[in-house]
Structure 1
Amino acid sequence: MDIQFLVVEDDENICNMVKKFLLRKNYLVDTCSDGNKALEQIYDKHYHLIILDIMLPGISGQEILKELRKIHDTPVLMMTALDDDANQLLAFSNETDDYVTKPFSMPILMKRVEALLRRSGVLKKEIRAGKLTLYPDAYKVDYDGESIQLAPKELDVLLLLAQNKGRVISHEVLLTKIWGYDFAGNEGIVHANIKKLRNKLPVNIIKTIKGVGYCLEENEI
């Protein structure tokens, strides 16, 4: 599933920084720097999460949030320089889901974003194995915070190994669980996908047990 963000921010540098970070995580990102145009985009398109500044040309982020809540409950993260209690209380009264003040840490912002996506059900679960994190519902993989582009079958193989970390998964089990009992191919397709995974992962965490199968290296994950 493609996860779509809207970033509403009139500071071009901050907007580009947030957009770049989200794109690195394989999210889809629209941006807007004007309050009135942002509201039009919200009416016209479905977003999984909105990152919203308060001080904007046109209408304010607070007004956008009030209008948004009349039509749906899209998760909203307010991202603003206004750190006073009054604005924070108003934002939560208008039903924002989170509130971040500038300056902020991009890794922490991303953790808040992922928490909101999990809470809303967009990212229903994640599988962790050391530095490896898999988001099956979003078909996303991170290693040590860096996004990795995988084909669907490659992700399925890695997910099965991660769900069984420390255990050896045989060629036959991989073949039947990933490709199905009626698949006409052979173990060669398993070897090919393992090779592709090793080429894409920054560290070789997949151990070959000769004549048996594969497992994730416990000392690496």
Structure 2
Amino acid sequence: MPKDADPRNGPGHVAIIMDGNGRWAQQRGRPRLFGHHAGARRVREIVAACPDLGVKYLTIFAFSTENWKRTQTEVAGLMTLFRKYLEREARELFESGVCVRFIGDRIRLDEKLVSLMDELELLTADNTRVNLTVALNYGGRDEVTRAAKRLAYEIEQGRLTHDAVDAETLSRFLDTHVLPDPDLVIRTSGEARISNFLLWQSAYAEYEFVDTLWPDFTKAEFAKVLHNYGSRDRRFGAVSA
């Protein structure tokens, strides 16, 4: 971390769009899944770095609702990678004090993967050192649509009136209802778009688009981005004093 960086001035909740695994592998003449495996190893390093960098909440975009459009081989390989990662990392995450949550629509995921997700959430539920949220089969529009349906059902059942619906009410129906909104959203690989990630929650987040491909995104670069965040003037629509 830069000498003058103070974790207390940094973002408490960082969300990351982990982009560039496939290109990283192709640059090395390897199949795309080789890059995804390298990206999974990078996740471990970044999660481990969070306490020292003052990051209490980390949300990572692992698989979007649009990623099903990829080849069957890549999708199947990713699902196998997710299962193996959860099996391999569960004990380490628990012992490191990481609380793991998953957001997204689980209906399309296979039963074995969902079972592992449930088990890891239960195992780490009481941990407080780092809150890691994994967005899996997640899309911002899909999340808001599902929340709206649940909200509409509550109105239909008479447990909520339409007059009582406001932004705070809708937020309670989102996948992230137990999390604070992200302060900073990072996207790796040089792409400058948000790709349907945390659309509602990131309304006032700062964004940082970095050229580094995700498997090369080190703890040192993470610290640098967090340091840059500390120099921004966050006014939330007001005027600086």
- Indicate the TM-score class for this superposition, using the shorter chain for normalisation: 0.3 to 0.5
TM-score, length of structure 2 as denominator length: 0.32
TM-score, length of structure 1 as denominator length: 0.35
Structure holding more helix per residue: 2
Structure holding more strand per residue: 1
